[in-house]
Amino acid sequence: MKSTTVSVAVALALASAQALTAEPAKSDDTLEEVIVTAQFREQNLQDTPIAITAVSGDLLEEKGLTNVTDLGLVIPNANIRQQGSFSGPTPQIGMRGVQTTDFIYTSDPGVGVYIDDVYQGSLTGSAMDLLDLERVEVLRGPQGTLFGKNSLGGAIRLLSKTPKGDNTGMIEATYGTSNRLDVKGSYDFALSDNLFMRITGVSKKIDGYGDVLDFTCQMKVNGTPQLAGTFPTLMPSDRQMHNDCKIAERGGGRSDAGRVMLRWLASDSTEIMLSGDYTSSDTDPSVDSKLTQHQATGLNAAYDLSTIQPRYGIRFTGNDRFLTGDPFKTYAYPVDPVGGKTYPPNWTTENWGGMAKLIQKFGDKMQLDVIAAYRKYEIDWMGDGDQMPIDLNHTYVLQTHDQTSVEARLSGAAFSDKLAWTAGAYYYDDKSHLGGYVTLPAFAIILPNFNQNDTFTTESKSAFLHGEYKLTEKFTVTGGLRYTDESKVYQFDHSPYLLVPTPLDYGSSHTDWKISLNYRFTDAVMMYAQAATGFRSDGAQPRPFTVGQQKEIVPAEELVSYEIGAKTDLFDRKLRLNLAAFFDDYDPRVVLSPGTQCNLVADPDPGPVYRGLNGGICPAGTPVGDSAFKTGSPWFAYASAPGSNRGVELEATASPIPALNISATVAWFDFKSDAPATLNGQPNNVYVDPSYRVQAEFSGSLGVEYRISTGSGSFTPRVDWFLQGSRSNGIAYLPQLPGSDNQVPGYGLVNARITYTANEGDWALALSAENLLDKFYWYQLAPYRSNNNAIGNPITDNRTGTPARGREVALTFRKNFN
């Protein structure tokens, strides 16, 4: 890392030297100042010693970014994307190598998502539409002092437009391919001289881009009815006569949302804000593709031979009849033809909340902010683990989550405004429930189908202090400290399979700190160096197989980050270059480390985790190993896999000539494992081979727009290109195969838009295309083989992938009310 850091420092110094030759001059076509509130006070982005990406709500729309999951395209070193159907509506949100994917509440996010400074306490529910936003601020790196727990990778802040009472508004309609229809509107008006209201609403729908086919019907259409045996059909006979075997879609849906905000200027020193929002959605599952067959091994083969073949005259193991050959088509449907169960095919979500904010000023030097909020969601979805019309693993999930939070922040200035300080206290309380039903018919002899009835509670309290002191007009030191104490309770109930009668109580306390030095060489160049910490809360065993395993406490993750950066406005503020280089000491870094329990199932002490056992056969000297039945209980155990993240991030904005705007990002990332490659003479399953990419090594974006004025208005064409590098998906402790076998291939996307705006600005018309070049790429893709070819393992059992949507074209009309 030393050579990388030195080279980046040299580059920063060169940029500084270049800018020292001239002070920026004001010009009508210079880049605008960007105001952020990342340190809980308004600051120029170029004065804030944090790696921040700030994007206005209007620019998000121009780039074709409409959801939190789209932000990964423009945030350097972010890994934010949709997951496959087995995770339901839970997104994958990662930044700078800190990842979170699990929907179960025993695992907390590693990147915090905040709506108007209200923390979203679970990963599920974080894939929010970017609705009526003033801007998005993404803070990269640990934000433990100001934002607290579960922000060790960074924080995503969604900041809404607030009421101004200026009687302005808009209505916008979009129609596009796939029968896309979006209608949204907002209006900001005054109820009195000091009471303002803003109302926003949106309704969106779009058809799916994947088809669910009836298996028996399609076999007849293909001219191979014998391949269907006597498998039942879901299709009416009249539709089969027209060779129409489509029974459902994937990847589409509808959503409706609304928000009301009320702002009361009670006096010159007192302001009160109230808001309430509601979202309802009914969406298809994600488009999943079955790419390889189930292998004829183990319990699946036994279930195939004992149940499926005698009943239907066909087999699903060692057989490719359930592969459609098209990544956008599947035979998977939430029906169990053997057990007779049918699950709701769509995902439904209700999400609502309210917030009250008090801003009280005490003279010109001190301000109190108090934010109280309540949020709740109810979500139901079905995860298909087999991707066949035969049920091998269907997980019907009911998730509910409600949270209450209160934060108080007192900010001020002292010592002739040399010191800007903030002190605060935070309280958070949540209760979550994981319900539903899980089927595993092939495992019935050892693991019956079961209900989920798990509850989770969290209580978190913290206090923090943050200050920024100007030692001189050019040299500033920033420091922060935060103490957090948490307690959690986990009640596990998967009856009749496993009920743990005693709840698990756990939790811990943490102290985070930050120190930063920044020096402004000129009005055009500021450099900073900082060290900061963050943590992810303790977790617990989400999928125990015995009473003892449920007691496993997954330790909190901790990260210490060292970062240097520069913020520059060059060439008379026509070019803005912001650069950051970081090195993170990530320890503990917790990962799944599966193994075997060799104590008896009923033993409340699970004993040590045995890893690398052939077929789970327990060694002699253990209770199970000395018994007649030597196979132990599988154990989804967790272990620390420490390592270091390192990377470089560049963000550029330029306006070289009037009406031309260019923006670009470039990011490089690398992870080095500090865990030993072997453990007790066996491969260490928490080691990460240097060839394994924890996240994309390279990513970037480039956007260009140019405004062309005409007599009656202006045309603004815009093109955005997004690059996402490849990610590994094989077994991390083994060298990765070349090519795409053990990686999710990288891709480049192009979005385009041309907008006509009338001179008065009262209306606009835009033609846009997302994925203009109709690029095929995968959101998620399982490895082709379970690990390296040299190991000689067979083709991956039931390999699946989640392809992305192709080209979509839309026309948008917007009417503004001024």
For each successive 10 residues of the chain (818 residues), what is the average pLDDT? 41 38 47 93 94 92 89 94 88 93 92 95 90 94 95 95 96 97 97 97 97 94 92 74 84 96 97 97 95 88 94 93 96 90 92 97 95 97 92 93 98 95 98 94 84 96 97 96 97 90 94 97 96 95 90 93 97 96 96 90 89 84 91 90 97 95 97 91 88 94 95 94 92 77 89 94 95 96 61 66 96 95
Q: Which helix (H) or strand (E) holds 660?
A: strand 660-673
**What local confidence, expressed as pLDDT, does residue 615 receive?**
76
* DSSP, res 227: G
Contact 256/203 with Cβ under 8 angstroms?
yes
Residue 445: Cβ within 10 Å count = 9
Of all helices (H) and strands (E), which one includes residue 18?
helix 2-20
Which two three-digit tokens encode residue 469?
């002191």
Q: Is 106 in contact with 93 (CB distance < 8 Å)?
A: no
Residue carrying the six token digits 């088809």? 211
CA 650 to chain centre: 22
Token pair of 764 as six digits: 């606009």
Residue 285 is classified by DSSP as: P
Q: Could you please report the per-residue DSSP string of 548-577?
A: TGGGPEEPPEEEEEEEEEEEEEETTTTEEE
Decide: 50 and 36 in contact? Cβ < 8 Å.
Answer: no
- Specify the pLDDT at position 24: 37
Cβ atoms 275, 262 nearer than 8 A: yes
Helix, strand, coil share (%) of the chain residues, nearest 5: 10, 50, 40
Model pLDDT, residue 228: 94
What's CA 545's distance to the chain center, in Å?
28
Q: What does the longest C-alpha to C-alpha distance in the chain come to?
A: 90
The label of the residue with tokens 């809404």 reads 160
Which pLDDT does position 740 carry in this prediction?
Answer: 57
Residue 389 CA to residue 391 CA, distance in Å, equals 6
Tokens of 245: 């075997």
> 774 by DSSP, 3-state: which?
coil
Q: In the beta sheet, which residues pair with residue 136?
A: 55, 158
pTM of the model: 0.92
Contacts of 226 (CB under 8 A, 6+ apart): 219
Decide: 279 and 213 in contact? Cβ < 8 Å: no
Dist CA 528 CA 563 (whole Å): 8
Phi-psi region of 387 (alpha: psi -120 to 50; beta: other; left: phi over 0): left
CB within 8 Å of 618: residues ≥ 6 apart: 596, 598, 610, 624, 625, 630, 631, 632
The pLDDT score that the predictor gives to residue 8 is 39
CA angle 409, 489, 427 (to 5 degrees): 5
pLDDT at 791: 39
DSSP conformation letters of 388-410: SSS-S-EEEEEEEEEEEEEEEEE
Q: CA separation (Å) from 594 to 8, 487, 580, 695, 696?
A: 39, 26, 37, 22, 25
